[in-house]
Structure 1
């Protein structure tokens, strides 16, 4: 059986790089941080020639430098960090990279859902040990957040607005008082947070109204809003970076022609513009049309071409993957895509030709199949 992980956490994936950065880091470090703020930024945003380093550090998160710097400064204070934005804007990836660089542990994660309870962010009990020996620290099961408190590292809370108000309220005391009481115990009944502890939470801006944050909880967080990437060059870099990772992970030798990448980027840009100008939800695709969804479309097309195609990516396959990924509501989304194909792709195919011809035909066939 292989010991290879399906998806290694950032601290394992970039372990050698983090070790090297730590060995050359002589800048001041807050609390128990493994890297200084400057090195954390360097790890996430990559190095430049002006940095004068012996080796190149690749960029891992593509976004505005100011967002990363503000996030790092927040974590160096005693406030929590809330990354908020549309789906697919890289909030969770940024949170993972920050945790890996600062604490060398990004796995202390609570996933917010309707079923998340206060136990998930505080503690629970090993029932068999409680029956055998009674309640004690040995029979207590600390949550990822409590473990982060005890070790003075970063804890993460994904999809905060999807958890109930009771769970959100439990975070208030942790963020303000920096300790958790254990009333079931007579002794050793308080867990205090050690220096370096903080929480990085993420929230989907499209979930507004599901479980809104209270004013008290909002005051405990610094908000960093991550916008949708609209710069074509930056978006191309993100898609290319993630695609190369996919090809390496699956040991696939397949070239993605730049012309096909341009077709994908332009199609998403067109659909975003149409969605922005729509006057009702029925005229908008249900998809957020995020960069992450572009990556998903391209990944689907690459795997389909590898396993069922001629080991080469074609515009027809790309179009079929795009329609299949974005047509979530039937018939509303199919009607929107059909209108786009007739009104935009067909004229562009006549004017520009090239990959757009195959993209036109592949999209038509996919829409007809799903209709």
Structure 2
């Protein structure tokens, strides 16, 4: 498994899941591999009061109530819709829930403008149809149909990016819990087994792409995942993801606390400026999410490793931030330049050498892009 570029959660945490299952004596709905309390513990980490013989690390950072409501929804007969801004951890939470409940998080449909009903129902192996005719053997089940047959969790990413026809096809699956196969005379209905459910995600910034019908909305319980605004929680997420990055690349590099503070403060300042802006041209195109912070830090770490002295410096961090956030020219460059002169430059007087180096690195990056 060390050759997998990105192992799914059930593979990455297989030993931990095996151990939790071995000590879990709680009630398990349907064919769940873990009880609801153990699912929550797997996602949010263990505490001393849990009385376990080993520490379970926290994997998703957010309000406990969001996780509990998600688990309760999946234990019912309703689908779960995680909705929020980009980079709020919706997909990661969906993956962790599927891994803990079903030990399989890979039954995923990606919603796009090109997604069709075949992607959520079934298609046909043309060569087998020509040779032997249409049958269950020549049918190719979708990830959702496979989840129905196995009684596990299926996932649908970016639901609002799929067309209304595809969304409507989900209504019968979520309400009737079966899929008809009119091409077959016998064995022409696939019934969902106990434990089947769907976790869908939707980007709140994509509401105008293909808005959900009221009929489909009624089949889902909504859990809105807010943008992480607490600096301490955001720092924990960034450290967690950064440590994974360093392990994956076998990089030994220390993340200086002062540089992490500069990154967090910069994103907080830019978010505040974006919220106060009255026109779209005065806002960065970036969502300024926690995921984008991690991307900026990853870029800076890899640049330091491959083209620097293997020490993360404020100048490199500034270059990565400007390069990642300047998507429109000249609008985004003007906003970032204004931030450097209006916010960062005054901080160099009392913020120490790292802020001065960050300012110089930002100015140099803007000059290269201008």
Q: 3-state DSSP class of the match of 1:351?
A: coil
What is the Cα deviation at residue 3 of structure 1?
5.7
What's 2:150 paired with? 151
> Please, what is the CA RMSD of the aligned residues?
0.7
Distance in 1, Cα, partners of 2:346 & 2:196: 56
What's 2:227 paired with? 228
Task: Give matches, 1:171-250, under 5 Å.
Answer: 171-250=170-249
Kindly indicate whether residue 328 of structure 2 is the aligned counterpart of residue 336 of structure 1: no
What's 1:5 paired with? 4
What's 2:133 paired with? 134
- Of the structure 1 ranges 347-356 and 264-273, higher mean CA displacement relative to structure 2 is found in 347-356
Per-residue displacement from partner, 1:310-368 (whole Å, max 9, x unpaired)? 01000000000000000001100000000000000000112222310110000000011
Distance in 2, Cα, partners of 1:331 & 1:208: 28
Q: 3-state DSSP class of the match of 1:124?
A: strand
What's 2:86 paired with? 87
Distance in 1, Cα, partners of 2:15 & 2:3: 17
Q: 3-state DSSP class of the match of 2:350?
A: helix
Q: 3-state DSSP class of the match of 2:82?
A: strand
Distance in 2, Cα, partners of 1:51 & 1:33: 21
What's 2:50 paired with? 51
Q: 3-state DSSP class of the match of 2:288?
A: coil
Q: 3-state DSSP class of the match of 2:105?
A: coil
What's 1:14 paired with? 13
What's 1:170 paired with? 169
Distance in 2, Cα, partners of 1:355 & 1:53: 42
What's 1:279 paired with? 278
Distance in 1, Cα, partners of 2:3 & 2:51: 34
Q: Which runs of 5+ in 1 are unaligned?
A: none
Per-residue displacement from partner, 1:260-301 (whole Å, max 9, x unpaired)? 000000000000000010101001000000000000000000
What's 2:304 paired with? 305
What's 2:321 paired with? 322
Distance in 1, Cα, partners of 2:353 & 2:290: 24
After superposing on structure 2, the runs of 4+ consecutive aligned residues of structure 1 that deviate more than 3 Å are none
What is the Cα deviation at residue 4 of structure 1?
1.2
What is the Cα deviation at residue 52 of structure 1?
1.2
Distance in 2, Cα, partners of 1:25 & 1:312: 44
